[in-house]
């Protein structure tokens, strides 16, 4: 949630943002205890990875569209995700196929091979890079006698581990419940299921129906509460329209939070070599020069196949991106798949409704490049991009200049002649515009100033009759 608090803080229906948060928190706490505990239990059975469980990874290549080499790269990312979730990644397996097997995703020979691998390495969990249907997951769990989880389930779990704020926790729970709902067909309702419980009898239809009803009503409640939180967020941010907004976007682990901390040292954004270190938007003032400041927001990172349920439930957090005047797209150029990552970011932006992003591409981690020729080549290929190292503070002044130049595009110059006694208006202009020249003529003052496009209408209404 945004931490900006300043003179723009306004109230809604006579209540401050904090009042609304407290009310929501107490409402949330007032849910029937039994229902809370039951749903918590239900959520915890969504194949949670326990501390340092041994995992085997499985990827499927569909040549020529998806090559084995590509899948090897995907499995590297999956290993990073699994490690972030707390698993110890051991072996991995890739099968090349023409289409996924409807019953098991992979072929029966590979299922046998996987079963031997699980036994030999005493693995606790098998993680598929591709999404599994509930039927495939159930069949595989039965055949392999261990937990089976897919990429979406894994990402949801990481989000659940990472969520700190009230809002992020609700957003993640909503995504988890929506993911779980279609899977409440036996596999996901096995609350008493033990590890490797082959042939465990599933609950009866009545139990499944009860679960579905509970989950649906909880989903409705969470959606309503998230709408309330968005409203509260809007009341907090409504006073900020006069300041240009910039949002940091990019693939997870690209270095967005590190850059935020370097540009706005007071930000104290959490940055770590882990996927999805950031789940909450954080907004800070970035002073470019006197009277010209922007609000910089750090946002949740994107990833290949970001579960749709997550995109949906994080929509209000991602509003910061939609409302930004322009975006800083941070790219980790030391990653071998950075160009595919750039494409994923572009696709995800489109998915959340950003159509023609006004973007500065910021290639980060130049310090991690071993061959200087690579940098020269990249500069030639991306002539409009800025190349920096956020961690080492390299080229940040160039980036600041580029941000300032981008912001300047949104300013318009105005000149007025105002009576010296109208100190209220003069003071207002000094506060809300950038005064670049001031000349005293008799009892009047001639002021030249720059106005941001967000303020232009209002300032023109105030000063239009004084224009010269």
Ligand X SMILES: Nc1nc2c(ncn2[C@@H]2O[C@H](COP(=O)(O)OP(=O)(O)OP(=O)(O)O)[C@@H](O)[C@H]2O)c(=O)[nH]1
The correct pick among 39, 146, 275, 328 for binding ligand X (CB under 6 A) is 275
How many Cβ atoms sit within 10 Å of the Cβ of residue 437? 10
Cα-flanking dihedrals φ and ψ of residue 141, to 5°?
-60, -40
- Binding of Mg ion by 296 (CB under 5 A): no
CA distance 143 to 147: 10
In sequence order, the 6+-apart residues with CB closer than 8 A to the CB of 437 are: 446, 447, 448
CA angle 39, 48, 118 (to 5 degrees): 145
CA distance 170 to 164: 10
- Binding of ligand X by 276 (CB under 6 A): yes
DSSP secondary-structure letter at 301? P
Specify whether the CB–CB gap between 439 and 417 falls below 8 A.
no
Q: Please say which residue, 215 or 269, places its beta carbon nearer to ligand X.
A: 269
- Binding of ligand X by 287 (CB under 6 A): no
Q: Please say which residue, 313 or 455, places its beta carbon nearer to ligand X.
A: 313
Question: By C-alpha distance, which of 416, 409, 420 is closest to 448?
Answer: 416
84 interface partner picked from Mg ion, ligand X, none, CB below 5 to 8 A per type = none
328 interface partner picked from ligand X, Mg ion, none, CB below 5 to 8 A per type = none
- Binding of Mg ion by 277 (CB under 5 A): yes
For residue 192, what are its two tokens? Answer: 């008493």
Specify whether the CB–CB gap between 85 and 157 falls below 8 A.
yes
278 is in an annotated binding site: yes
- Binding of Mg ion by 235 (CB under 5 A): no
252 interface partner picked from Mg ion, ligand X, none, CB below 5 to 8 A per type = ligand X
277 is in an annotated binding site: yes
Q: Please say which residue, 257 or 455, places its beta carbon nearer to ligand X.
A: 257
241 is in an annotated binding site: no
Shortest Å distance, C-beta 462 to ligand X:
41
The correct pick among 171, 189, 235, 253 for binding ligand X (CB under 6 A) is 253
Shortest Å distance, C-beta 167 to ligand X:
16
Question: By C-alpha distance, which of 17, 464, 449 is closest to 239?
Answer: 17
For residue 290, what are its two tokens? Answer: 């006197």
Cis peptide bond prior to 64, omega within 30° of 0:
yes
127 interface partner picked from ligand X, Mg ion, none, CB below 5 to 8 A per type = none
SS3 content of the chain, % helix, strand, coil (to 5): 50, 20, 30
Tokens 């105030």, located at residue: 462
The region of 45-53, 223-231, 268-276, 459-467 touching ligand X under the rule CB under 6 A is 268-276
The correct pick among 283, 364, 395, 455 for binding ligand X (CB under 6 A) is 364
- Binding of ligand X by 277 (CB under 6 A): yes
Q: Please say which residue, 363 or 411, places its beta carbon nearer to ligand X.
A: 363
Q: Provide the sign of the torsion angle of the four alpha carbons 381, 386, 392, 397, taken in this order.
A: positive
The SS3 of residue 452 is: strand
Question: By C-alpha distance, which of 217, 221, 236, 237 is closest to 170?
Answer: 221
301 is in an annotated binding site: yes
Shortest Å distance, C-beta 301 to ligand X:
2
Shortest Å distance, C-beta 319 to Mg ion:
18
Shortest Å distance, C-beta 52 to ligand X:
21
Size of the site for Mg ion (CB under 5 A): 4
Question: By C-alpha distance, which of 156, 128, 129, 157 is closest to 140?
Answer: 128
461 is in an annotated binding site: no
Question: By C-alpha distance, which of 306, 260, 268 is closest to 286?
Answer: 260
The correct pick among 389, 395, 455, 463 for binding ligand X (CB under 6 A) is 389
| Long-range pairs, 74-78, Cβ under 8 A, ≥24 | 74/129, 74/304, 75/129, 77/303, 77/304, 78/127, 78/129, 78/151, 78/154
Q: Please say which residue, 55 or 277, places its beta carbon nearer to Mg ion.
A: 277
367 is in an annotated binding site: yes
Tokens 């940055």, located at residue: 271
Closest-by-Cβ residue to ligand X is 301
Q: Please say which residue, 153 or 250, places its beta carbon nearer to ligand X.
A: 250
Among left, alpha and beta (phi > 0; psi -120 to 50; other), residue 282 is beta
300 is in an annotated binding site: yes
- Binding of ligand X by 254 (CB under 6 A): yes
The region of 192-200, 321-329, 385-393, 430-438 touching ligand X under the rule CB under 6 A is 385-393
The correct pick among 271, 324, 426, 433 for binding ligand X (CB under 6 A) is 271
Q: Please say which residue, 180 or 248, places its beta carbon nearer to ligand X.
A: 248
- Binding of Mg ion by 278 (CB under 5 A): yes
CA distance 70 to 232: 44
Annotated binding site for Mg(2+): 257, 278
Q: Which residues bind ligand X (CB under 6 A)?
A: 250, 252-258, 271-273, 275-278, 301, 364-365, 367-368, 389-392
Binding-site residues from annotation for GTP: 250-257, 276-280, 298-301, 364-367
Applying CB under 5 A, which residues contact Mg ion?
Answer: 256-257, 277-278
Binding residues: 250-257, 276-280, 298-301, 364-367
């Amino acid at each position: 949630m945004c931490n900006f608090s300043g003179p723009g803080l306004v109230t809604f229906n006579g209540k401050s943002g904090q009042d609304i948060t407290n009310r929501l928190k107490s409402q949330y706490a007032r849910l029937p205890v039994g229902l809370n505990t039951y749903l918590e239990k239900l959520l915890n059975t969504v194949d949670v990875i326990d501390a340092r469980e041994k995992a085997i990874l499985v990827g499927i290549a569909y040549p020529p569209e998806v090559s084995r080499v590509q899948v090897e790269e995907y499995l590297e990312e999956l290993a990073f995700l699994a490690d972030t979730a707390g698993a110890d990644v051991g072996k991995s397996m890739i099968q090349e196929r023409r289409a996924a097997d409807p019953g098991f995703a992979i072929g029966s020979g590979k299922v046998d091979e996987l079963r031997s691998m699980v036994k030999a390495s005493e693995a606790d969990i098998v993680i598929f890079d591709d999404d599994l249907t509930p039927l495939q997951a159930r069949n595989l769990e039965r055949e392999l006698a261990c937990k089976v989880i897919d990429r979406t389930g894994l990402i949801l779990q990481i989000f659940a581990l990472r969520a700190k704020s009230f809002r992020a926790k609700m957003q993640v729970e909503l995504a988890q419940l929506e993911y779980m709902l279609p899977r409440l067909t036996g596999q996901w309702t096995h609350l008493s299921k033990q590890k490797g419980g082959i042939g465990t009898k599933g609950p009866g239809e009545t139990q499944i129906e009860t679960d579905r009803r509970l989950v649906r009503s909880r989903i409705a409640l969470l959606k309503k509460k998230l709408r309330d939180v968005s409203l509260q967020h809007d009341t907090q941010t409504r006073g900020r329209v006069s300041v240009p907004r910039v949002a940091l976007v990019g693939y997870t682990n690209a270095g967005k939070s590190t850059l935020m901390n370097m540009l706005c040292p007071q930000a104290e954004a959490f940055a770590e070599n882990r996927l999805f270190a950031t789940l909450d938007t954080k907004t800070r003032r970035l002073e470019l020069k006197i009277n010209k400041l922007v609000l910089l927001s750090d946002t949740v990172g994107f990833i290949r196949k970001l579960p749709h349920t997550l995109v949906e439930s994080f929509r209000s957090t991602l509003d910061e991106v939609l409302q930004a005047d322009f975006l800083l797209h941070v790219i980790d150029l030391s990653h071998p798949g950075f160009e595919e990552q750039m494409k994923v970011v572009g696709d995800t932006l489109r998915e959340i409704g950003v159509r023609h992003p006004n973007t500065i591409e910021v290639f980060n981690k130049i310090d991690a490049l071993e061959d200087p020729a690579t940098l020269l080549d990249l500069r030639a290929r991306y002539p409009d991009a800025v190349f920096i190292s956020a961690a080492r503070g390299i080229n940040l002044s160039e980036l600041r200049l580029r941000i300032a130049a981008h912001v300047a595009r949104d300013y318009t110059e105005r000149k007025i002649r105002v009576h010296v006694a109208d100190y209220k208006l003069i003071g207002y202009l000094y506060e809300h515009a950038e005064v670049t020249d001031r000349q005293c003529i008799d009892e009047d003052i001639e002021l030249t100033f720059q106005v941001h496009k967000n303020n232009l209408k209002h300032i023109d209404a105030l000063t239009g009759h004084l224009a010269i």
